[in-house]
Amino acid sequence: MAFSEYQLLSVLAQEMNMRKAAERLFVSQPALSQRLQNIEKEWETKLFIRSQKGLTLTPSGELVVKLANEMLERKEKVREEIQAVDSKIHGTLKIACASIVGQNWLPQVLKKYVEKHPEAKISLMTGWSSEILKALYEDEVHIGIIRGTPDWKGTKTHLFKDQLYLVDKEIEKVEDVLKTERPFVQFKSDSNYYQEIQEWWHRHFKTTPNRTIIVDQIETCKQMTLNGIGYAILPSITLNSTDDNIYKIPLTDEENRPIQRDTWLLGYESAFELRQVNAFVEIVKECIEADPNLQ
């Protein structure tokens, strides 16, 4: 039987009156009577006995009505389960993220994401800006988190700024850079970060560093600085409260304004229609609002 027939039997058993049942089911009495006859024909037995006082269930009718009620209850339970499933975040969230953000800021965001949406999966790749943009263009990821000022025609949301610092265990002020024999430790980058540093350096010193060491990763650069091998220019996102035994000198431009790096979230509009992506963006906003250093 169809669920409408189960409902019909359940209502008839509740009302025990053809007229009242017809009103509840929004059908005419003749139509209701015809449908009941068809159901009884299907079961090959009488389910209700009609009289001037109304309807009476037969023993067979009691069994079929019990089945009808059980099926209706099961249907409602399944509907509730479906609604519960639909309210959860499923699917895979595919992210491409700048390495510096992936190492220093993103983990706390993903931790909250998986705690709140344990049914969701995460696919994460980290790399340089060019690699992130390539992954977005080729539709390999849903969203990209990139540093600098990206040339992106799709949806672009600014996340936060973080300041650049000259970091060293010995140098207390910028002018002392020219007095040290230790090297300037730099890390490779394909964004405009390197150009910003070069412009700041030449604006202040009109010359090049005495010695330079180039490393592949920003974390290597940081660790060499923390261990006193040389000095470096690092964004505040890489520095934390445990780095108290080093000097952090803020970089400023020619108008004495802090030099900062921007972090952006990029994606195509269609990606933000996915529930797992929207859920991630909401948690990103929560984390930024909760961190006064990123305001």
pLDDT of residue 245: 80
Same-domain check for residues 28 and 101? no
- Are residues 245 and 228 in contact, defined by beta-carbon separation less than 8 angstroms? no
Residue that is last in its domain, among 69, 87, 105: 87
- 245 and 287 fall within a common domain: no
219 lies in the same domain as 168: yes
Tokens of 207: 């010359």
* pLDDT at site 47: 96
Domain boundary among 87, 103, 134: 87
Q: pLDDT value at position 83?
A: 67
The domain boundary, picked from 70, 87, 104, lies at: 87
Residues 168 and 253 in one domain: yes
Together in a domain, 130 and 174 = no
What is the CATH number for 236? Answer: 3.40.190.290
Task: Give residue 190's pLDDT.
Answer: 66
Do 156 and 167 belong to one domain? Answer: no
Task: Quote the tokens at residue 82.
Answer: 């479906």
> Are residues 202 and 267 both part of a single domain?
no
Same domain (yes/no): 19, 156: no
Residue 27: which of 42, 5, 56 has the closest Cα? 5
150 and 279 together in one domain: yes
User: Are residues 63 and 48 part of one domain?
Assistant: yes
Q: Are residues 116 and 152 in the same domain?
A: yes
pTM for this structure?
A: 0.69
- CATH code for the domain in which residue 43 is found: 1.10.10.10
Q: Are residues 255 and 141 in the same domain?
A: no
Query: What's the CATH code of the domain at 114?
Result: 3.40.190.10
Walk along the chain (295 residues) and give the pLDDT tens digit of each residue.
Answer: 666 899 999 999 999 999 999 999 999 999 999 999 999 999 999 999 999 889 999 999 999 999 999 999 999 888 867 766 677 788 899 999 998 899 889 999 999 999 999 988 999 999 888 899 999 999 999 999 999 888 898 999 999 998 999 999 999 988 888 888 899 999 887 667 777 888 888 888 888 888 899 998 888 999 999 999 999 999 998 887 666 688 999 998 888 899 998 999 999 999 998 989 999 999 999 999 887 666 5
Q: Which domain holds residue 51?
A: 3-87
Say what the pLDDT of residue 82 is.
75
User: What's the total number of domains in the chain?
Assistant: 3
Give the chain as a 3 state SS string.
CCHHHHHHHHHHHHHCCHHHHHHHHCCCHHHHHHHHHHHHHHHCCCCEEEECCEEEECHHHHHHHHHHHHHHHHHHHHHHHHHHHHHCCCCEEEEEEEHHHHHHCHHHHHHHHHHHCCCCEEEEEEECHHHHHHHHHCCCCCEEEEECCCCCCCEEEEEEEEEEEEEECCCCCHHHHHHCCCCEEEECCCCCHHHHHHHHHHHHHCCCCCCEEEECCHHHHHHHHHCCCCEEEEEHHHCCCCCCCCEEEECECCCCCECEEEEEEEECHHHHHCHHHHHHHHHHHHHHHHCHHHC
